[in-house]
Structure 1
Amino acid sequence: MANAKSVKIHVIYYSMYGHIAQMAKRVQKGVEASGAQCEVFQVPETLSQDVLDKMYAPKKDEKVPVITHDKLRDALINCDGIIFGYPTRFGGMPGQMKTFWDQTGGMWMKGELLNKPFSIFFSSSTQGGGQETTALSSLSNFIHHGMIYVPIGYSCKQLGEMNEVHGGSPYGAGTLAGQDGSRQPTALELEVAEASGKHFSEVAIALKIGREALPKKEAATPSVPQKAVQRDRV
């Protein structure tokens, strides 16, 4: 019988300037607070080091495994739920994450991600930088796979905090990076990230327990079309 410890959640992110990487660690903390297992991965970089240097992007965290093509299927399928994190790019998913999803056609054809729960967290340079549109515009990738969206909603009271400027919305946890990337995730934003990980995991745990409690369907006896029967008699 499933329990919290038997549930495995994967956190998969892309982070150029480190904001999403910081949020991912707190999301992981929230997942583990629910009793579930958690592994964190990052998607491959698609920009050259020369371009990254010109954009003043810091070095990636080498301790976080990169999902190379041969590990793609394992990272997406061998878990009970996935939390994705990525920054906004003009109100949408960044190219690095889109490239990652463009490799999942084979899984889509087989329906291997059908009914798998997922959630999103994000970052933007400004308050109007497109955090909610990023969530909305990226949903098509998940919907085509038949995955189940688990937003944070207002399960975390800090989202309603009005005494300071902060990222995040009912669509997911979020942080504001500032136009030059110098602003770092605040204590409040990190609390929301942690709460989102815990909330998502609790839903994933309930889904797995519920599915295993359902009676197993007996294999249906193949029905033979009447026309085929008539042909056999001729």
Structure 2
Amino acid sequence: MTKVLVLYHSTYGHIEKMAEAVAEGARSVDGVTVDIKRVAETVSDELAKSSGYKMDQAAPIATVADLEHYDAVIVGAGTRYGTAAAQMRNFWDQTGGSWVKGQLVGKVGSAFTSTATQHGGQETTLIGLIQTLLHHGMLIAGLPYAWQGQMKIDEITGGSPYGATTITGGDGSRMPSDNELEGARFQGRYVAETAKKLHP
């Protein structure tokens, strides 16, 4: 069986919802198993609660040691000033041992993100995550234009050839749209299909 990990960090639930859609798409591919895990929260419980963080997330906490057991890793994190949230950066900054051993070389890597605004750094965040995956020797799968939803101009929508995205609104009140979730499902399916070809 080809094994896919959807690894995410979600502050307010937007990326959690996208992660579920990515996993749904990956699970639609026969012969593929999918796990959803999240990285550890690095802010205190007190700060998280006072800031309105979504604390009731079902996904278990991932460890760096988990990574080597998957054929593909799809990484999701919100944007902070044009780069991935520190919680996700912190997780990958602990993967030096995996890098030294080449444990992720030849596996499929992919990324998805969210921003408050349309031009809030979605593509720079995705490229930053992709750079990290490339340093590990991973083979990158994005969100190809075969998914036409990212070309819509009749509604505000996320989506990029570098990966699925969503726009949350400045106050975080906008949850992923149907179109954005469909992009996430497409990406999950595409990554799973690619990983299955490479690691049947």
Smaller-chain TM-score bracket: over 0.9
Equivalent residue, structure 1, for 2:59: 64
Structure 2 stretches lacking a partner, 5+ long? none
Equivalent residue, structure 2, for 1:194: 185
Q: 5 Å matches for 1:127-146?
A: 127-146=118-137
TM-score, normalised with respect to structure 2: 0.96
How many residues were matched structurally?
199
> Could you say what secondary structure the match of 1:86 adopts?
strand
TM-score, normalised with respect to structure 1: 0.82
Work out the CA distance in 2 between the residues paired with 1:174 and 1:156: 13
Work out the CA distance in 1 between the residues paired with 2:162 and 2:29: 20
Q: 5 Å matches for 1:1-234?
A: 6-35=1-30, 36-61=32-57, 63-67=58-62, 71-73=63-65, 75-209=66-200
Work out the CA distance in 1 between the residues paired with 2:132 and 2:142: 16
Letter in 1 for 2:17: Q
| Root-mean-square deviation (Å) | 1.1
> Could you say what secondary structure the match of 1:44 adopts?
coil
TM-fit CA distance, 1:190: 0.7
User: After TM superposition, where is structure 1 displaced by more than 4 Å over at least 4 residues in a row?
Assistant: none
Q: Describe the superposition over 1:21-47 as per-residue Cα deviations: whole angstroms up to 9, x where unpaired.
A: 001111111001112110100000000
Larger radius of gyration: 1
Q: Describe the superposition over 1:42-91 as per-residue Cα deviations: whole angstroms up to 9, x where unpaired.
A: 00000012221232212231x21112xxx421x21101111111100101
Letter in 2 for 1:50: E
Letter in 2 for 1:160: M
Contact 1:152 1:200 in 2 (8 A): no
Structure 1 stretches lacking a partner, 5+ long? 1-5, 210-234
Give percent identity, aligned residues only: 39
Q: Describe the superposition over 1:145-197 as per-residue Cα deviations: whole angstroms up to 9, x where unpaired.
A: 11111111212111111110011111111110011101111111111111111
Work out the CA distance in 1 between the residues paired with 2:128 and 2:19: 21
